Copies of this chain bind each other. A is one copy, B any other.
Amino acid sequence: MFESAALGRKCADKEYEVAMQQLRLRLFEAQRQCLTRKIPVLITIAGLNGAGRGAVANLLSEWMDGKHLHHHAFWFETDEERERPPFWRYWRQLPAAGEVGVFLGGWYGPAVRLRACRDISEEAFTSRLHRLRGLENSLAASGMAIIKLWLHLDKKTFAHRLKHRLAHQEVFHFTPYDKKTADNYEGLVEGISTAIRLTDRPEAPWTIVDAADANYRNLSVAQAIIAGMERAMRAQDAKAGRVALEKEQEHDGGSVQEGLVSSLEAIDLSRSKEPDHYRKELKKLQDEIFSLTYHAYRRGISSTLIFEGWDASGKGGAIRRVIGGADVRITQVIPISAPSDEELAHHYLWRFWRHIPRAGFITIYDRSWYGRVLVERVEKLTPREDWSRAYAEINHFEEQLTEDGNILLKFWLHISPDEQLRRFEERQQTPWKQYKITDEDWRNREKRDAYSVAADEMFLRTSTAYAPWHIIPAENKKYARLAVLRCYRDALRAALDKKPERRKDERAHNAVRPDDGRPKHKKK
């Protein structure tokens, strides 16, 4: 794989000056176009030690418009990162529309180094790589330009440079596995080979750069970045074309709706009756949940609860009853309405990643990422190719939320159209509920069939083993609240009954601050 990148090709200074001047103009121009077109650009600079990753990163600041370029290095995980799924730290730094994010090492750096020193198994390594491919695919499909660079050296040059850097005390190790792999050429090359094999895809290809000669390396890097940005622009144009075509065809008569077995029609709403002893039962469940969530907090088990369902199906009331149990000090409710402009400038999952709970904490989403395949689909706010891709994206996301024994519960509160009408009218007549009912609610009600179809497809495609849907008959509010609380109580019990897994993986490493790395805090 690396033969052609270890030929030691060179570029003389004079040629370099001429070629670089042209490339810089093109690079600058491509960046400006991406800014105008609102394309986020993600540049990963990975490579062997001594191949010049830092130098290249510094050059990019010089070549490109630094106002829209941000560098990120991923050394130690902070507490806040370590207590969330591993990808959280990357999501929070992803470039916004029009911005350039330069990831030093990116999500490959730590993984490849860990694998090189055999601190993660082959299996864990490849499973992580498969995930990364999925993530890159999703980001690219959402319009991001993804450029991945591996700066390569042949073994002799690598050894030579290491010797030179050691002699000049230029070797800094920011993480323990940096140190362990500093001279492990074979291990690093084996690791990156696997990584490239599994993640080199047309929408996010790797560029292997022959980095022995700085001039040649710089030219290759600039070319690869220009090519990547141009690729994203072509993809944007192509997509615009497809979307226009889709609209046209819909106008011509619309696509035929495929038949689906309806999950909602199968729900027996008559089960949802006024419970006997509601207050007593509610109190008991809330007390149980209070105690269980406290234990979960101590064990570091987080809970994510999401509430979807028809308008006026009682989501807010059910959420209040959950909070009535769980301690508000460890609980956050995130209502999902129109995104902020910062959220709009990112992948649609970014705004949900922002709020996912730390170990032991609870986040409740009042409406959720399923808006992508419900309202955005029905109201045609999002092209079909985007919302239809979302099922898989959501499944991957939820898989990460449920790992390490964490809890994810998805509730759909179900009511009949008649009951909904009754509640709408009640809201209109109750002074302090009036603000809850808007013209939009009435319009949505008209579209119940379209929403039903969307909901059914959603249940079908996103009811996974690790995150099944709970469809709650909610014709009676009290019945529904108790059902939700019972479901959460049982999930907490099950999670606490499990033996905590104690996996040896990279996170344990990242938790340690070695002497030569990040500073100890100044106070003793």
Contacts and interface: CB of A to CB of B under 8 A. Distances in A.
B359 A521 contact: yes
A332 B71 contact: yes
A514 to B, nearest CB: 12
How many copies of the chain does the oligomer comprise?
A: 2
A47 B298 CA distance: 24
A170 to B, nearest CB: 10
Interface in A327-345: 327-333, 335, 340-342
A62 interface: yes
A71 B329 contact: yes
Interface stretch (A78-86, A215-223, A234-242, A463-471): A78-86
A331 B60 CA distance: 13
Given A79-B78, A104-B329, A519-B297, A28 B66 contact: no
A80 B83 contact: no
A432 B28 CA distance: 8
Given A102-B328, A320-B66, A340-B340, A519 B73 contact: no
A522 B340 CA distance: 35
Interface stretch (A110-118, A387-395, A502-510): A502-510
A523 interface: yes
A511 interface: yes
Contacts of A328: 54, 57-58, 60-61, 71, 102, 104
Quick one: which of A60, A300, A511 has the most chain B CB within 10 A?
Answer: A300
Contact of A342 (B104, B342, B432, B504): B342
Interface string A342-379: 10000000000000000110000010000000000000
Given A79-B80, A505-B523, A508-B521, 19 more contacts: A25-B432, A54-B327, A58-B328, A62-B324, A66-B320, A67-B333, A71-B329, A82-B521, A102-B328, A172-B294, A297-B519, A300-B521, A300-B522, A341-B342, A359-B519, A359-B522, A360-B519, A502-B522, A508-B523
